[in-house]
Chain A
Amino acid sequence: MDKKIEIIVNARTTDEAAKVVLEKAIEEGIETVWDRLEAQQPQCGFGQLGMCCNRCAMGPCRISPFDDAGPTRGVCGADVDLIAARNLLDDLLVGAASHSDHGREVVEVFLETAEGKSQGYKILDETKLNAIADEYGIDTKGKSKEAVAKEVALAIFEEFGTVKNSIQFAESRPPEKTKETWKKAGIVPRSVDREIVEAAHRVHMGVDSDYVNILLHALRTSLSDGWGGSMMATDISDVLFGTPKPVSSYVNLGVLKPDMVNIVLHGHNPVLSEMVVKASREKDLVDYAKKMGAKGINLVGMCCTGNEVLMRQGVPIAGNMLNQELAIATGAVEVMLIDYQCIFPSITKTAGCYHTKVVSTSEKAKFPGAIHKEFHPGNAFDTAKEIVKLAVENFPNRNPDRVKIPNNPMKLMAGFSVEAITSALGGTLQPLIDVIASGKIRGAAGIVGCNNPKIKQDYNHIVLTKELIKRNILVLETGCAAIASGKAGLLVPEAAELAGDGLKEVAQSLGIPPVLHMGSCVDCSRILVIAAKLAKALNVGIADLPIAGAAPEWYSQKAISIGAYFVASGVYTVLGLPPKIFGSPNVVQLLTEGVEGVVGGKFAVEPDPVRQAELMAAHIEKKRKALGI
């Protein structure tokens, strides 16, 4: 590699497969996210500090960070505490809405499937369906699964609105003590949509003007996501497509195949991609691909749509957020199918440099330059087949001279739903509790969240994960964090070698990796569920458990909501990049200290991954001591 390019590539990513393609992209003059980050420097300090408000037409306003110079209030009179808190709530509500709208769409497909109106979908997990029906107090006796499904779907829809004003999962799943703290703080979530809409109302000029009250509502909104919208997305996806079980597959850009039609499934919602998986296995389409000179059809995932189809179908996954442009830059992608969230708006421009066609599928997420094939449950399978056909027909347009696919896809194991973990343990979580109590495993850590080009890709994820398992802390991962561990070879049973003696022994005896891939970002709800189960078994609150969370490379508003619902549920959560609040010492104080007295969890901000691990381990030890173990 050219020395200069090598330096750039090594500064941008730790993903060895990505390096190979990034070099090619640089040589070919393809613009990537890192170039755009560089072009954006310096980025506005008012924005980074959360000290600007662009909410109304009296503004935009900004507050000076130095009290001896510049304005201290916006035109309306808002001070820096209010502006920072309002901005944070605004970001958080967008994140919560993203998860919840995704959840709603899954439930819509579920309802149409129950009514026999969808195409290609079946109810796959009846056991889980019945368990959820039970939770909702729906009588299942003598009813067809479709009839039960319809009642469940309607009951869930009720919780999006405000007629019922409570969320079942937030009532039946958390431990009593955790629910008590919510009640005392007045942050029990009332409905999925209500909290989000109310949040949007509160940030209007002249509505909520007390930063403490705003931050409390932020916690409530996040709970309506974690124990509401996200959890519904997870559970109903399981009912429709099957609850994940441990599955082996491959990860990194090397999963693309030089002699096959490559389709990348990118975004977050599995509803259409599940159908594309089905379509790609149809004999006539496979034959068609062969006729076009390919050996077959190769589906690969990207980001969380990738996680969803990896967990349930074993579809290999090409990478996480910062790999999306590089997948196209391999020159070997016929179609990148996108649904929504975390898709670079410039992705069609990247695709324009190759033969790749970008196919958008959601009415609410159109991308100029993409081919739009709109998804509807009623025509899902036909649409899926059309998209696969389009990819096959694009294969002859590939220029083999511009193809470069890295060699060594990494093996990984995914699919650790709570159900799968429980069954690996022999049907109950007791063995996990026992090894935690005995100290073989010190506790558990949830590592979640995105990539952010401000951090060398995957570096913080990997260093933190390795540091934690070394300290005998079991790591549960979702989203881009899980994909990062996959690429680094941490999601295979052999990785137990890197763990401390206790965790190593436990992982080896169960034949599982020391780091468990639990799914996509909505599946952070699975982490809540397992934490709740552990707390209930021990008769304590989630805040009493020896657990911690981290989002070491987060970038998105969804991550703010996830972080907040972890904290609101009682989890100590470390962020690797500062949220936009440092302009307000009061907001920082409340979120990193004060909030602990209210909900038991709190945030910390620490970019150094070794330090992150130390903080989390210290917290876990503190909780162990309090539990007397």
Chain B
Amino acid sequence: MKTVFVHPERCIGCRHCEMACAIEHSKSQDLFGMLFETPRSKPRIHVELGIDFMTFPNRCRHCDPAPCMQVCPTGALHRDVETGSVLVNYSTCIGCAMCAMVCPFDIISFNKVWSIQLDHEVNTKCDHCIDRQQAGNIPACVEACKTGALEFGDANTIIRSSRKDFTVRTTLALKGEEAPSLPPNIEAFRDIMAKVSQFGTLG
């Protein structure tokens, strides 16, 4: 099973992924061209502030079975078997938002799309960059993420290397040695921002 794996501790809130997603789903597929299109393409991955100024890139997990698919009254949601992606058929989506109510990750949003002339907004969730995948490329958000917070690949392979990491850290800890999971300067910055959040209005 290929998926986009999120390493939230690496997300620094730059929103490159959002930008790349919007470009990918625009008509021109070009940053400058996108700005002149109506409707303007919107990101399908969402980077928002949690606590202590930390962020999390939230996107469709392409669940299987997918709660959204199960409740869609028009069958607008369907699965691409080859890539396992949950996709929306814009022409049959009636904007009832049943899918959004049951999505465990609250990632569905409704927008107008350029690909079909409609008066109403439809479910524009992540399509797993199905076009790119079919062309043998990785999703746009993953390509754009320069911190490694988004990783695309076989879930078991990714988990195996994370698990190895965890094992090394745990055994080091047993020996009483410290193995920071983040570089010390980044850890220091996070600590400072966690304090800033105590004295401010945010995060």
A residues at B contact (CB < 8 Å): 11-12, 34, 37-38, 41-49, 62, 64-71, 453-456, 459-460, 577-578, 582-585, 588, 605-609
B196, A44: Cβ atoms closer than 8 Å: no
A607, B13: Cβ atoms closer than 8 Å: no
10 A-B pairs with least C-beta separation: A45-B12, A69-B148, A42-B13, A70-B146, A582-B189, A607-B195, A41-B49, A585-B185, A44-B14, A42-B55
B185, A64: Cβ atoms closer than 8 Å: no
> How many Å lie between the Cα of A63 and that of B112 in the bound state?
35
Counting CB contacts under 8 A, is B188 at the interface? yes
> How many Å lie between the Cα of A303 and that of B189 in the bound state?
30
> How many Å lie between the Cα of A584 and that of B47 in the bound state?
24
B201, A34: Cβ atoms closer than 8 Å: yes
Instruction: Determine how close the nearest CB of chain A comes to the CB of B26; give it in whole angstroms.
Output: 20
A71, B146: Cβ atoms closer than 8 Å: yes
Q: Within 8 Å CB of A577, what residues of B?
A: 196
B146, A43: Cβ atoms closer than 8 Å: no
Q: Within 8 Å CB of B47, what residues of A?
A: 42
B200, A66: Cβ atoms closer than 8 Å: no
A45, B192: Cβ atoms closer than 8 Å: no
Of the candidates A46, A455, A578, the one whose C-beta lies within 8 Å of that of B189 is A578
B201, A37: Cβ atoms closer than 8 Å: yes
- Known contacts: A41-B48, A454-B196, A608-B198. The answer to whether A62 contacts B186 by CB under 8 A is no
B147, A607: Cβ atoms closer than 8 Å: no
Instruction: Determine how close the nearest CB of chain A comes to the CB of B185; give it in whole angstroms.
Output: 4
Known pairs A62-B14, A578-B193; list 13 more (Cβ under 8 Å).
Answer: A37-B201, A37-B202, A42-B15, A44-B14, A45-B13, A62-B146, A66-B183, A70-B147, A582-B192, A584-B185, A585-B183, A588-B188, A609-B199
Counting CB contacts under 8 A, is B61 at the interface? no
Q: Within 8 Å CB of A578, what residues of B?
A: 189, 192-193, 196
Instruction: Determine how close the nearest CB of chain A comes to the CB of B101; give it in whole angstroms.
Output: 26
Q: Within 8 Å CB of B13, what residues of A?
A: 42-45
Instruction: Determine how close the nearest CB of chain A comes to the CB of B35; give it in whole angstroms.
Output: 17
Q: Within 8 Å CB of A459, what residues of B?
A: 199
B185, A582: Cβ atoms closer than 8 Å: yes
> How many Å lie between the Cα of A49 and that of B185 in the bound state?
10
B148, A455: Cβ atoms closer than 8 Å: no
Of the candidates B15, B184, B195, B201, the one whose C-beta lies within 8 Å of that of A453 is B201
Q: Within 8 Å CB of A582, what residues of B?
A: 185-186, 188-189, 192
Q: Within 8 Å CB of A68, what residues of B?
A: 148
A455, B196: Cβ atoms closer than 8 Å: yes
B192, A66: Cβ atoms closer than 8 Å: no
Q: Within 8 Å CB of A44, what residues of B?
A: 12-15
Interface of A is mostly: loop
Of the candidates A41, A64, A583, A588, the one whose C-beta lies within 8 Å of that of B146 is A64
17 CB-based A-B contacts, threshold 8 Å = A38-B201, A42-B15, A42-B48, A44-B14, A45-B55, A64-B148, A65-B183, A66-B10, A66-B148, A67-B183, A70-B147, A455-B199, A582-B188, A583-B185, A584-B185, A607-B195, A608-B199
Q: Within 8 Å CB of B198, what residues of A?
A: 607-608
Instruction: Determine how close the nearest CB of chain B comes to the CB of A240; give it in whole angstroms.
Output: 39
* CB nearest to A575 among chain B residues: B192
- Within B11-33, which residues are at the interface with A (CB < 8 Å)? 11-15
Instruction: Determine how close the nearest CB of chain A comes to the CB of B31; give it in whole angstroms.
Output: 12
B interface residue count range (under 10 / 10 to 19 / 20 to 34 / 35 or more): 20 to 34
> How many Å lie between the Cα of A577 and that of B196 in the bound state?
7
Instruction: Determine how close the nearest CB of chain B comes to the CB of A449; give it in whole angstroms.
Output: 15
Contact with A along B45-64 (1 / 0, CB 8 A): 00111000101000000000
Of the candidates A46, A455, A606, the one whose C-beta lies within 8 Å of that of B12 is A46
Counting CB contacts under 8 A, is B203 at the interface? yes
B202, A38: Cβ atoms closer than 8 Å: yes
> How many Å lie between the Cα of A520 and that of B189 in the bound state?
31
B147, A69: Cβ atoms closer than 8 Å: yes
Instruction: Determine how close the nearest CB of chain B comes to the CB of A137; give it in whole angstroms.
Output: 48
A454, B202: Cβ atoms closer than 8 Å: yes
Q: Within 8 Å CB of B199, what residues of A?
A: 455-456, 459-460, 607-609
> How many Å lie between the Cα of A71 and that of B145 in the bound state?
11
> How many Å lie between the Cα of A45 and that of B148 in the bound state?
13
* CB nearest to B10 among chain A residues: A66
Among B11, B184, B192, max chain A CB count under 10 A is at B192
> How many Å lie between the Cα of A195 and that of B186 in the bound state?
32
B186, A65: Cβ atoms closer than 8 Å: yes
> How many Å lie between the Cα of A130 and that of B13 in the bound state?
57
A66, B147: Cβ atoms closer than 8 Å: yes
Q: Within 8 Å CB of B202, what residues of A?
A: 37-38, 41, 454
Instruction: Determine how close the nearest CB of chain B comes to the CB of A31; give it in whole angstroms.
Output: 15
- Within B155-203, which residues are at the interface with A (CB < 8 Å)? 182-186, 188-189, 192-193, 195-196, 198-203
* CB nearest to B196 among chain A residues: A607
> How many Å lie between the Cα of A34 and that of B202 in the bound state?
9
> How many Å lie between the Cα of A459 and that of B196 in the bound state?
12
Q: Within 8 Å CB of A583, what residues of B?
A: 185
Instruction: Determine how close the nearest CB of chain A comes to the CB of B157; give it in whole angstroms.
Output: 16
* CB nearest to A611 among chain B residues: B195
Q: Within 8 Å CB of A46, what residues of B?
A: 12, 14, 146
* CB nearest to B53 among chain A residues: A42
Instruction: Determine how close the nearest CB of chain A comes to the CB of B20; give it in whole angstroms.
Output: 13
Q: Within 8 Å CB of A64, what residues of B?
A: 146-148
> How many Å lie between the Cα of A577 and that of B197 in the bound state?
11
A454, B200: Cβ atoms closer than 8 Å: yes
Instruction: Determine how close the nearest CB of chain A comes to the CB of B151; give it in whole angstroms.
Output: 8
A607, B192: Cβ atoms closer than 8 Å: yes
A49, B189: Cβ atoms closer than 8 Å: yes
> How many Å lie between the Cα of A38 and that of B200 in the bound state?
11
> How many Å lie between the Cα of A238 and that of B146 in the bound state?
53
A12, B148: Cβ atoms closer than 8 Å: no
B195, A608: Cβ atoms closer than 8 Å: yes
Of the candidates B11, B184, B193, the one whose C-beta lies within 8 Å of that of A585 is B184
> How many Å lie between the Cα of A489 and that of B42 in the bound state?
50
Q: Within 8 Å CB of B183, what residues of A?
A: 65-67, 585
> How many Å lie between the Cα of A69 and that of B47 in the bound state?
20
Instruction: Determine how close the nearest CB of chain A comes to the CB of B194; give it in whole angstroms.
Output: 9
A12, B201: Cβ atoms closer than 8 Å: yes
Among B53, B188, B189, B198, max chain A CB count under 10 A is at B189
* CB nearest to A51 among chain B residues: B12
> How many Å lie between the Cα of A48 and that of B47 in the bound state?
16
Q: Within 8 Å CB of A609, what residues of B?
A: 199
Instruction: Determine how close the nearest CB of chain B comes to the CB of A210; give it in whole angstroms.
Output: 20
Instruction: Determine how close the nearest CB of chain B comes to the CB of A391; give it in whole angstroms.
Output: 33
* CB nearest to A453 among chain B residues: B201
Instruction: Determine how close the nearest CB of chain A comes to the CB of B48; give it in whole angstroms.
Output: 7
Q: Within 8 Å CB of B10, what residues of A?
A: 65-66, 69
B201, A11: Cβ atoms closer than 8 Å: yes
- Within B83-126, which residues are at the interface with A (CB < 8 Å)? none
> How many Å lie between the Cα of A62 and that of B14 in the bound state?
10
